[in-house]
Amino acid sequence: VICVLDTYARRWADVPMLARTHGQPASPTRMGKEIMVFVHRLKSQVENLEAVPHCSKFGGATGNLNAHKVAYPDRDWIAFCNALIEGLGLQRLQCTTQIEHYDNM
């Protein structure tokens, strides 16, 4: 969408149009400039989304890996879980409860 809008913004860079403010006719502008406003806004939102960390709750039913430790007590479950989640490109939440933190949604 951004690429398509950018193409039209450049194609229509010199097409004059009447701008509006508060729903009323205002001063002259260029169609390309007005479309470029949305190109910049969308690019900014994509950057914001890409900066959001992708986290994972992976610590057993209540965050203590209890069942894991009972089943295989000699395994380093924290290291295993960290490696697994990081291998998927995620960040593992180290301290959790039963559910994912709402502030990571």
Interval 59-103: pLDDT, tens: 888 889 999 999 999 999 999 999 999 999 999 988 888 887 777
Q: Which residue has the higher pLDDT, 52 or 4?
A: 4
Q: What confidence category does residue 54 fall into, taking pLDDT thresholds of 50, 70 and 90? A: confident
How far are the Cα atoms of 8, 19, 70 from residue 4, in angstroms, in the given order? Answer: 6, 22, 56
Task: List CB contacts of 15: < 8 A, sequence separation 6 or more.
Answer: 30, 31, 32
Reported pTM: 0.63
Distance CA 81, CA 56 (A): 10
| Rama region for 95: left / alpha / beta (φ>0; ψ in -120 to 50; rest) | beta
Interval 17-34: pLDDT, tens: 999 999 999 999 999 999
